[in-house]
Amino acid sequence: MASPLKLGLAGLGTVGASVARILAGKREHFSDTIGRAVVLTAVSARDRNRDRGVDVSAAAWFDDPVKLAAEGDIDIYVELIGGSDGPALDSVRAALNRGIPVVTANKALLAHHGVQLAKLAQRKNTTILFEAAVAGGIPIIKTMREALRGNGVSRVYGILNGTCNYMLTRMEREGIAFADVLAEAQGLGYAEADPTFDIGGFDAAHKLAILTSLAFGCEIDLDAIYIEGISQITLEDIRAASELGFRIKLLAVAQRTDTGIEQRVHPTMIPANAALARVDGVVNAVAVDTDLLGSILLAGPGAGGAATASAVLSDILDVAAGTSVPTLGIAPQQLAPYRRARMRAHEGGYYIRLQVADEVGAFAAIARRMAENQISLESIVQRRREDEDGGVQPVILITHETTEAAVRKALDAVQRDGHLRGDPRMIRIEKLA
């Protein structure tokens, strides 16, 4: 049997402690599987004395993860500290500088510094594995980096934030309003005290930035992502979606277009009979449209200690097996610059919800504004609700394929015409295979 693989682990939070526990509990399973023992030789965390359900005292303790990465007796460095900068970044750099491969679950680190770190890894003839950084335990990174290698990708999209998906599922199933579902999700630990990162779409955007690079062989550009969260979604939208044969999901989408690559995170209407529409609760799912393979879908738990630890372990075992795949799938100097497609050029169908004043000519004015912008309508739903203000009618429009620019222009004009009460709402419709 080959010499043991010496592991340095920084960060003993939910995922880190789970990795340590599984390594201890499945010691023989691992050495049998890969023909090589995996031994925790160095650890670093904030509090040395906290009980984490696993004894790590046999490993050398480092107060400073950067020192662990730079000086520890390790063959592989596992970064589970989190954060795009600070000790996470410094320690990863320190490990790579020694030519030591890195395994990380840190999406922010990669979304911000992925290309630079990939270059450093290449110079030092090593690599970074990060299966756990996107969609928890779902092997989407391995799939895109290895299994789809021969394919050209036209679109990658998915449900990348379990908190949002849980909340939208609850709103739809139980008819609970956004604010109440948020409070519930916070109580269950599915949402943070400050939920902005999740419900604002930023978490999904970090993950999308990484997937975009793998899909299109381009540099990572987090700042170019159009981001819209779910906090404006109402029960009215969800009910209307359901009646029209759709479901609302927070989708992250990267798509090749004539003018560049679109990257967007926003609430999306998808057909209720699509497999993705059945991905409920805290589950994540990613779909990839390709030239050879057609479309594939991967779904599974997007978070949780054991699921994320599973992805970390699979990366560790890949390193033990001698993997040599470049960090971002291809050599970093071959990454194309990211060419942004403007959101206004986005083409698709739209769901539009208006609160229209009950006045003569209001509806005709709206129809005229749509026509002026070459927007043709697939359906119009107008219904008076019992509990609605007598002078206002909710009107829902579903457009045929049009552009974001046309929709925005039409809605601006409708609003200027003065027939609306409140702001118009718009949700993009995604065509699925």
Q: Which residues bind its own copies (CB under 8 A)?
A: 22, 26, 29-30, 32-35, 131, 137-139, 142-143, 146-152, 273-275, 277-279, 290-301, 304, 306-307, 309-311, 313-314, 317-318, 321-322, 324-325, 329-331, 334
Q: C-beta of 310: minimal distance to its own copies in Å? A: 4
| Structure-token pair, residue 366 | 């709206």
Beta bridge partners of 78: 9, 103
Nearer to its own copies, 82 or 139 (CB): 139
Q: Closer to its own copies at the Cβ: 270 or 426?
A: 270
Amino acid letter for position 430: E
From the CB of 292, what's the least distance to its own copies, in Å?
A: 4
207 catalytic? Reply is yes
Nearer to its own copies, 150 or 187 (CB): 150
| φ, ψ dihedrals at 78, nearest 5° | -110, 110
CB of 251 to its own copies, least distance (A): 16
Min. distance of Cβ 137 from its own copies in angstroms? 4
Other CB atoms closer than 10 Å to residue 290's CB: what's the count?
Answer: 18
In the chain the first and final C-alpha atoms are separated, in Å, by 48
Task: CB nearer to its own copies: give 53 or 390.
Answer: 53
Using CB atoms within 10 Å of the CB of residue 84, give its burial: 0 to 12 exposed, 13 to 18 middle, 19+ buried.
Answer: middle
Nearer Cβ to its own copies, position 22 or 110?
22
Q: Give the Cα separation of 183 and 334 in Å (integer).
A: 46
CA distance 388 to 356: 12
Measure the CA–CA gap between 350 and 218, rounded to whole angstroms.
Answer: 29
Torsion (CA) 416, 418, 420, 423 in degrees, nearest 10: 40
**CA-to-CA distance for 43 and 8, rounded, in angstroms?**
6
- In the complex, least distance from residue 222 CB atom to its own copies, rounded to whole angstroms: 24
Q: What's the rounded Cα separation, in Å, for the pair 381 and 397?
A: 6
Q: How far is the CB of 277 from its own copies (least distance, A)?
A: 7
Of 132, 55, 68, 131, nearest to 100 (Cα)? Answer: 68
Nearer to its own copies, 330 or 380 (CB): 330
Tell me the backbone φ, ψ of residue 157, rounded to 5 degrees.
-155, 160
| Residue 394 CB, nearest approach to its own copies (Å) | 28
| 260/304 with CB nearer its own copies | 304
DSSP class of 354:
E
| Exposure string over 250-272, b if 16+ CB within 10 A, otherwise e | bbbbbbbeeebbbbbbbbbbbee
Give me the catalytic one of 6, 107, 142, 207: 207
Residues annotated as catalytic (active site), given as ranges: 207
